[in-house]
Structure 1
C-alpha cells in the first residue's frame, strides 16, 4: 500500500490517509458568510473522500483582522449555522475537516477594514503591502488572544474536527515570530521565546476554550528565506514549545516569503524546512509546496520529511486529483 494511503494515528489526530487539501483563499465568501459558491467549491473538492483532511481557508477572527474582500469569517456567533453546513457537506463526502483561523495584523488594507492595521511593531511588512501599522499595546494583544479563543469555540460548535491557528505568510502571529517584523523591546520581542509568547498564550486560550480532547493545529511560517529572518532551526525550537503547549499538528509553510520558496521550485519546496521541524517534535507534521504529482507526494513521505502532504493548487485545478492519485499509486 502506498504511504499516502496509510492511516495516521497520533494522539488526538486520527486520519484515514496522509493526503490533505490545504487551506487556500478562494474569495468566494459573501459578507464573511458561507454562501452557495463556497459550499459548492468545498463539496466538489471533497467528493469521494479521497483527502483524509480538508482544511478550510483562513477565516478572520475579528473584522479589524480581515485580510481581503470575499474572505470567510469566524468572528460572530451568528455565523456558526452557516459554517455547520460546510462541515456537514465535507463529512458527508467522507473526509475530516479543520478550519483555519487568522488575524491579518499589519498589512491590512484600510479599503477592506476601514481602519489602519496594527502589528507587533510599526515597521514595513515584506510580505504584505500597506501603510505602516500601529504597534500593538498589551491591551490590544490580550484582546486578540481572546478573539482567537472565541473563534476556536465557534469552529468546534460548527462541527469541525479541528481548528488551525495561522502563523504564516506574513499575517499577525507570523509578524510576532519573524525578527523582520517584530522589533519590540518588551516580553513579546527580542528572543525566540519572547517572539512566540503570544503563540503560547493563544494556544493556551484556545485549548482552554475547546477542551483537552479537541485537536488544535498550527500553521507555522518556518522560514522567511530573507537576511535576518526566521530560520528552520529557530522554527524547530518554536515547534517544540508549541507541542508542549498543546498543539497537535504543525503545518509547515513559508513566513515572510508567503507560500513560495524563492530558492527552489522543486516539488515540496518547504520539505527541507519540514524535515528540520519534524526532527524536533513528536506530533505529526504537514507540508505543502508545489506538489503536483502523486509520486512526488509519496517520495516526500518515504524520505521522512513529513507525516502528511498537502496538495493545493493541483487539486484546485482538478477536483478528481485525489482519486487519480490513489489509483495511480496503487497500480489500478
Structure 2
C-alpha cells in the first residue's frame, strides 16, 4: 500500500489516508460571515467521493475586530452555528473529516472592514501589509483568549471533528510569536516562552470547554524567513510546548513570508521545517507548500518529512486531483 493511502488514527480522528485539504480563503461567505450556499457547494465539490481524509475549513474570524477580509467566514457569535452545521454535514456525507480553522487578524485587519483601529502585541507596522496597530492591554489579551474559546465551542456544537488555531501567515497569533512584531516587555514578550504565552492560554481555554477528546490542531508559521524573525529553533521549542498543552496535530506553514517562499519551486518547500519539528514531537505533522503531484506527496511521506500532506492550490484548481492521486497510487 502506498504511504499516502495509509490510515492514521490520532486523538479521536480516524483518517483513512494521509491527504489533507489545507485552509484556503474563498471569500464566498455571506457579508456578515454566515455560511452561504456558495460555500456549501464549494466544500461539497471538494470533498466529493471522500478521497481527502481531512478538510480544514478556511480561516474564520473569532470577533469583528479580528476579521481579515470581506466575505470571510465567521465563528464570532452563536447565530453562525446553524450554517456551520450544514457545512460540517455536507463534508461528513462525503465521508471526510472536517476541521474549522479559527483566527484573529490582529494588525492584518483593515480598519475600513472592522470599523476600528487594528490591534496587535506592539505598535509595529505589519511587515506584510504596513498597517500599524494599537498595542493591546493585558486585559484585552485575555478577552481575545475568551473569544477563541467561545469560537471553538461553537465549532464543536456545529458538529465538526476538531478545531485549528491559526498562528501563521502574519496574523494575530503569529504577530505574538514573531520578534518582528512582538516588542513587548511584559510576560507576553521577549523569550519564545513568553511569546507563546497567549497560545498556551488559548489552548488551555479551548480544552476547558471542548473536553480532552476534541482534537485541537495548530497552524504554526514556523519561520518568517526574515532576519530578526521567528526561526525554526524558536518553533521547535514552541512545538514541544504545544504538544504538552494538548495539541493533537501541528500544521506547519510560513510566518510573515506567508504560504509561499520566493524563488523556491520545489514541491513541499516547507519540508525542512516539518522535518525539524517532527524530530522533537510525537504528534503528527502536516506539510504543505507547492505539492502538485501524487508521487511527490508519496516521496515526502516516505522520506519522513511529515505524517500528513496538505495539497492546496492543486485541489483548488482541480477538484478531481485527490481522486486521481489516490487511484494512481493504489
Measure, in 2, the Cα distance between the counterparts of 1:13 and 1:94. 13
Look up the match of 1:165: 165
- Once the two structures are superposed, the pairs formed by residues 52-67 of structure 1 within 5 Å of their partners are 52-67=53-68
> Does the 8 Å contact 2:13/2:161 carry over to 1?
no
Look up the match of 2:202: 202
> Does the 8 Å contact 1:22/1:312 carry over to 2?
yes
- Once the two structures are superposed, the pairs formed by residues 49-88 of structure 1 within 5 Å of their partners are 49-88=50-89
Q: Quickly say closer, same or farther: Cα 1:181–1:162, change in 2 above 3 A.
A: same
Measure, in 2, the Cα distance between the counterparts of 1:105 and 1:32. 17
Measure, in 2, the Cα distance between the counterparts of 1:263 and 1:317. 22
Measure, in 2, the Cα distance between the counterparts of 1:171 and 1:12. 28
Look up the match of 2:308: 308
Measure, in 2, the Cα distance between the counterparts of 1:127 and 1:13. 35
> Does the 8 Å contact 1:120/1:182 carry over to 2?
yes
Q: Alpha-carbon deviation of 1:96?
A: 0.4
CA offset digits 1:245-293 (Å, max 9, x no partner): 0100000000000111235221001111010111110010001100001
- Once the two structures are superposed, the pairs formed by residues 216-255 of structure 1 within 5 Å of their partners are 216-255=216-255
Query: Partner of 2:122: helix, strand, or coil?
Result: coil
Query: Partner of 1:219: helix, strand, or coil?
Result: strand
CA offset digits 1:223-249 (Å, max 9, x no partner): 100001111121011000000001000
Q: Which runs of 5+ in 2 are unaligned?
A: none
- Once the two structures are superposed, the pairs formed by residues 1-332 of structure 1 within 5 Å of their partners are 1-30=1-30, 31-130=32-131, 132-262=132-262, 264-330=264-330
Q: Which runs of 5+ in 1 are unaligned?
A: none
Query: Partner of 1:106: helix, strand, or coil?
Result: helix
Query: Partner of 2:199: helix, strand, or coil?
Result: helix
> Does the 8 Å contact 1:13/1:248 carry over to 2?
no
The farther-off stretch of 41-50 and 5-14 is: 5-14
> Does the 8 Å contact 2:11/2:213 carry over to 1?
no
> Does the 8 Å contact 1:12/1:248 carry over to 2?
no
How high is the TM-score relative to the length of structure 2? Answer: 0.98
In the alignment of these two chains, the number of paired residues is 329
Q: Alpha-carbon deviation of 1:24?
A: 0.2
Q: Alpha-carbon deviation of 1:107?
A: 2.4
Taking only aligned residues, the RMSD between alpha carbons, in angstroms, comes to: 0.8
Query: Partner of 1:156: helix, strand, or coil?
Result: helix
Measure, in 2, the Cα distance between the counterparts of 1:205 and 1:214. 13
Q: Alpha-carbon deviation of 1:11?
A: 3.4
Measure, in 1, the Cα distance between the counterparts of 2:100 and 2:63. 15
CA offset digits 1:131-171 (Å, max 9, x no partner): x1001110110000000000000000000000000000000
> Does the 8 Å contact 1:167/1:174 carry over to 2?
yes
Query: Partner of 1:235: helix, strand, or coil?
Result: helix
Measure, in 2, the Cα distance between the counterparts of 1:322 and 1:133. 40
Measure, in 2, the Cα distance between the counterparts of 1:297 and 1:127. 29
Measure, in 2, the Cα distance between the counterparts of 1:76 and 1:277. 35
Measure, in 2, the Cα distance between the counterparts of 1:123 and 1:250. 28
Q: Alpha-carbon deviation of 1:12?
A: 3.5
